[in-house]
Structure 1
Amino acid sequence: MVMRTLFLQAPSFDGYDGGAGSRYQAKREIKSFWYPTWLAQPAALVEGSKLIDAPAHDLSFDDIKHEAAQRDLVVIHTSTPGFKQDVRVAGMLKELNPNLKVGFIGATVAVDAAWAMANAPTVDFVARNEFDFTILDVAKDIPLADIKGISFRNSEGVVIHNEDREVLMDMDSLPFVSPIYKRDLVMENYFIGYLKHPYVSFYTGRGCKSRCTFCLWPQTVGGHNYRTRSVGHVIEEVKYVLKAFPQMQELFFDDDTLTDNRPRVEELARELGKLGVTWSCNAKANVPYETLKIMRDNGLRLLLVGYESGNQQILHNIKKGLLIETAKQFAKDCRALGIKIHGTFIMGLPGETKDTIQETIAYAKEVNPHTIQVSLAAPYPGTFLYKQAIENGWFDGTDHLVADGGGQIAQLTYPHLASDEIFEAVAEFYKKFYFRPSKVGAIVAEMATSPTMMKRRLREGVEFFDFLKNRNTEAA
């Protein structure tokens, strides 16, 4: 018998993407919600399970509390910014049903299971690292003492750390996540500013060979070995998505860097081309023209690219493995091929100064992505950046990554650059990039393409200006 299992992204801040899919667990400048793929994957393994993504569906605790009486097991995806709120939700569910077994998954518990158990007294167990089949074992009601990859509280209240589970290599052994989206989620509730709406996203593999010091998933859960599903397995899920979600406008592959394996991405692109799919993916700014052309010719519309900084030394400091000149040529090639780029940048990385901030803004204007995202350097526990911040005394004294309302804060401060200066640089970056005649003109032209795009960009514009207006208040 399988336990009656609920997979939960718990209610949290209004508009906050808590971490079941988001790489930066915070409220964004415009409404953004990623699919909770990390929850949907084990949900697909557990027969009769249910997935609730409360933030994306605007659900409060009162909206979900009835589930406590209907379930034997609740699995909550948590993150460093949302941990305290998730612990609170776990406690309230336990009050309603003391027999309920509650477990946490996610990067923050994978990094320090002992800390997590000590600070979550009502949680029965946490699943470390990759947790798909670990959670399946729990749902089968196998004794916790016999399950690899978990830390649990025994009957005496003592925390036991079982041996690690082996890294999953056969990615085709995982079932599709998209049927769980279809069963439990409302796809129209998922918005990403640079993707067509509505969209669907899922992974074709896990892990990233790059060593970026700030990046959360490869250093905590996914690892640096890029393990992939077979192209045939991916295409079968794409075919399912096309039938199940006829309203889908774009498919996004959420692998950390889909272009890490160029022969595979070329093969995948050719198969996608046969299906007539419009698709996008994460990429490093070093993909050669020939590969980009194959991707473009077979339905690629947009690449999500982490430029991070326009200063070469900072890129070396964070082990980005990317040369500025290579990235500039990549941008030119994408422009020539008509591939749109959503570029991401980070303020406050090690080596940042007032001058490098301006250098990065100028660089962003030069490579000129279609849209950008500017984030604050976030020292998540488990990352090399976090270790550096501890060793060098870079923390500004706070113990969290978001403000009370869920917006990002600048948690790092340097002798030559204070955290408030880093924080203010984000708004300056956005203004200098978007408030240019050429960029304003491009946005207006895009709005003129359809009434739907007009309505969407106007909504996003209101959210963006509210973001600029309110961020100083939220950080105070």
Structure 2
Amino acid sequence: MKITLVNPPYPPSVHSHPPFIPLGLGYLAAVAERAGHQVKIIDCQAEKLSYDTFRDRILQTPSDFIGVTATTLLYKSAMQILTIAKEAQPSAITAVGGSHGTFWDENTLREYPAVDLIVRGEGEETLVDLAEKIENHQTLSGVLGITYRDNDKICRTPDRPYIKDLDSIPFPAHHLMPLDNLKHNGKLLIPLVSSRGCVYWCDFCSTVRMFGRGYRMRSAKNVVDEMEFVHQTYGVDQVTFYDDAFSVDRARVLQICKELHNRNLKLIWDCGTRVDMVDRELLKTMKDAGCIAVWMGVESGSEAVLNAMNKSIKLEQTRQAYKTAHDVGLMTIANVVLGFPGETEQTAKQTIRFVQQLNPEDVGFYLATPYPGTPMYEQVVKNGWLRVTDFDKYDTAGPIFETPTMSMEKLAQLRYKAYQQFYLRPGYVLHMMRKGGTYGRSAVKTSGAYLLRALRIRLS
């Protein structure tokens, strides 16, 4: 069977965004190839394909099955891609997967007749099952985890159980991707996922609802096997872990570090985790094994807002985690959410000051965005706060809703000021110049951009 998997382009409204390896498609392609299918990946972001150039490409790519991945931000773009694909190849089965389709499945089928079915949740086993049924002209009713159209009726099969043995999944099919187009500053940075799911249930997070509350892990050996494989095969010397919380299982992280030492594998890497899941020994061991940076969720500098988020952390835990990471020599990146329901101008400013006190090397101030499938989305819709329904705008950079305690205009102003005040602090640029490296150069460049913009504002 000929399977084509597509990473759709960013919507035109989104500012220039660097392409990243579509890891989900890589896993899907790998399991499909292992099952004996012919697979192609079209990465519109990496190849800078417009809708018109994608049309040319798909016309030249005979397919029995065309699948597109979609986050909320990429949803409308994915639908345009599938509409084009259906026009080009009417006999192909068209499908959408990813987080947005999982929680918007019936709506998608009602809104877009070009879409034949939705793959909900993890897609590896579902794709192989689907391919077998389609090849043998069998009914799709027995395929778990899909929502499909049967004439005028929308059918929804039961959820597919999560994959228990993650080691059983082959490494992503990087060989099918345009890797030369995915390099940053001339270097290829390979992402890895060593676990799925999370033990927490933050109200703004759709990922945990996509992959489940149970924390499933690949073995330390399997993780390092992949690190060694991409190093030897593609010559990469840096990888980044996309896990939502890399250090949930402390013992496994220590074992990964031990494996890296035993193999004398000289790779540098970074990861993201929670502030309540690190300690000095763990962070020091990670650094000694090649870790250069950790990004940890600060989310808010207000205990009240943290509680509203159901984040289950305390400010003192955040202070201690960042201090410890700095003490052992790791760079830190703070992830912050502004504008969560209950946020006020006072709590937002409290958060901005708190982040400055933590003094991370870099920061992301993201605006609370109500993604379908999250309790925050349900709360915002129920209270009539939603103001933006165009999913092309769900990029965490612009306000989507407003509450009685925070207007959209004020929230946008606070976000800009948060970045400006962070990057223009006395001594910050000098500190990052001394740090050097990728993060240092990036932070210095960002500081300069904010300085120039601030000067333009003052002079205008």
Residue 128 of structure 1 deviates from its aligned partner by 1.0
Residue 465 of structure 1 deviates from its aligned partner by 7.6
Residue 108 of structure 1 deviates from its aligned partner by 1.6
Partner secondary structure for residue 95 of structure 2 = strand
Residue 14 of structure 1 deviates from its aligned partner by 5.1
Residue 358 of structure 1 deviates from its aligned partner by 1.1
Q: Alpha carbons of 1:90 and 1:464: their partners in 2 closer, same or farther (altered >3 Å)?
A: farther
Residue 218 of structure 1 deviates from its aligned partner by 0.4
Aligned counterpart in structure 2 of residue 284 of structure 1, from 259, 274, 291: 274
Partner of 1:106: 98
Is residue 2:180 matched to residue 1:184? no
Is residue 2:60 matched to residue 1:58? no
- Contact 2:293 2:331 survives alignment (8 Å): yes
Aligned counterpart in structure 1 of residue 227 of structure 2, from 238, 243, 252: 238
Q: Deviations over 1:311-365 (max 9, x none)?
A: 1111111111111011101111111100111111111012211111111111011
Q: Alpha carbons of 1:401 and 1:94: their partners in 2 closer, same or farther (altered >3 Å)?
A: closer
Partner of 2:405: 416
Residue 232 of structure 1 deviates from its aligned partner by 1.4
Structure 2: gaps spanning 5 or more residues: none
- Contact 1:182 1:244 survives alignment (8 Å): no
Q: Alpha carbons of 1:152 and 1:402: their partners in 2 closer, same or farther (altered >3 Å)?
A: closer
| One-letter amino acid matched to 1:412 | F
Q: Alpha carbons of 1:138 and 1:190: their partners in 2 closer, same or farther (altered >3 Å)?
A: farther
- Contact 1:81 1:400 survives alignment (8 Å): no
- Contact 1:15 1:31 survives alignment (8 Å): no
Aligned counterpart in structure 2 of residue 90 of structure 1, from 82, 97, 103: 82
Is residue 2:260 matched to residue 1:262? no
Aligned counterpart in structure 1 of residue 260 of structure 2, from 256, 264, 272: 272
Q: Alpha carbons of 1:186 and 1:392: their partners in 2 closer, same or farther (altered >3 Å)?
A: same
Aligned counterpart in structure 2 of residue 430 of structure 1, from 419, 422, 430: 419
Residue correspondence of structure 1 range 442-457 to structure 2 within 5 A: 442-446=431-435
| One-letter amino acid matched to 1:158 | K
Q: CA RMSD for the aligned pairs?
A: 2.7
Partner secondary structure for residue 350 of structure 1 = coil
Partner secondary structure for residue 352 of structure 2 = helix
Is residue 2:72 matched to residue 1:74? no
| One-letter amino acid matched to 2:295 | L
- Contact 2:241 2:272 survives alignment (8 Å): yes
Residue correspondence of structure 1 range 216-231 to structure 2 within 5 A: 216-219=206-209, 221-231=210-220
Partner of 2:303: 312
Partner of 1:399: 389
Aligned equivalents of 1:362, 1:309: Cα separation in 2: 10
The size of the alignment, in residue pairs, is: 443
Q: Alpha carbons of 1:208 and 1:381: their partners in 2 closer, same or farther (altered >3 Å)?
A: same
Aligned equivalents of 1:384, 1:123: Cα separation in 2: 27
Partner secondary structure for residue 298 of structure 2 = strand
Aligned equivalents of 1:130, 1:110: Cα separation in 2: 9
Is residue 2:110 matched to residue 1:118? yes
Is residue 2:358 matched to residue 1:367? yes
Aligned equivalents of 1:188, 1:376: Cα separation in 2: 30
Aligned equivalents of 2:449, 2:118: Cα separation in 1: 36
Partner of 2:377: 386
Aligned counterpart in structure 1 of residue 127 of structure 2, from 126, 135, 145: 135
Residue 366 of structure 1 deviates from its aligned partner by 0.7
Partner secondary structure for residue 66 of structure 2 = strand
Residue correspondence of structure 1 range 25-44 to structure 2 within 5 A: 27=15, 31-44=17-30
Partner of 1:11: 9
| One-letter amino acid matched to 2:166 | M
Residue 197 of structure 1 deviates from its aligned partner by 4.7
Is residue 2:140 matched to residue 1:150? no
Aligned equivalents of 1:416, 1:264: Cα separation in 2: 43
Aligned equivalents of 2:451, 2:87: Cα separation in 1: 41
- Contact 2:424 2:451 survives alignment (8 Å): no
Residue 9 of structure 1 deviates from its aligned partner by 1.0
Residue 446 of structure 1 deviates from its aligned partner by 4.2
Is residue 2:194 matched to residue 1:204? yes
Q: Alpha carbons of 1:366 and 1:110: their partners in 2 closer, same or farther (altered >3 Å)?
A: same
Aligned equivalents of 1:174, 1:367: Cα separation in 2: 39
Is residue 2:36 matched to residue 1:46? no
Aligned equivalents of 2:455, 2:161: Cα separation in 1: 48
Q: Deviations over 1:195-240 (max 9, x none)?
A: x953111111100112111012102x11111101111111211111
Partner secondary structure for residue 286 of structure 2 = helix
- Contact 1:15 1:55 survives alignment (8 Å): no
Aligned equivalents of 1:99, 1:464: Cα separation in 2: 51
> Structure 1 length normalisation: TM-score?
0.86
Structure 1: gaps spanning 5 or more residues: 17-26, 471-476
- Contact 1:73 1:101 survives alignment (8 Å): yes
Q: Deviations over 1:27-50 (max 9, x none)?
A: 5xx744332111111111112211
> Structure 2 length normalisation: TM-score?
0.89
Q: Alpha carbons of 1:462 and 1:158: their partners in 2 closer, same or farther (altered >3 Å)?
A: farther
Q: Alpha carbons of 1:115 and 1:466: their partners in 2 closer, same or farther (altered >3 Å)?
A: farther
- Contact 2:20 2:182 survives alignment (8 Å): no
Aligned equivalents of 1:98, 1:466: Cα separation in 2: 51
Residue 457 of structure 1 deviates from its aligned partner by 6.5
Aligned counterpart in structure 2 of residue 352 of structure 1, from 340, 343, 354: 343
Aligned equivalents of 2:211, 2:171: Cα separation in 1: 18
- Contact 1:344 1:374 survives alignment (8 Å): yes
Aligned equivalents of 2:26, 2:449: Cα separation in 1: 29
Residue correspondence of structure 1 range 324-339 to structure 2 within 5 A: 324-339=315-330
Off by >4 Å, runs of 4+ in structure 1: 456-470
- Contact 2:9 2:74 survives alignment (8 Å): no
Partner of 2:167: 172
- Contact 2:423 2:450 survives alignment (8 Å): no
Aligned equivalents of 1:149, 1:308: Cα separation in 2: 32
Aligned equivalents of 1:39, 1:212: Cα separation in 2: 26
Q: Deviations over 1:258-302 (max 9, x none)?
A: 111111111112212331221111111121112111111211111
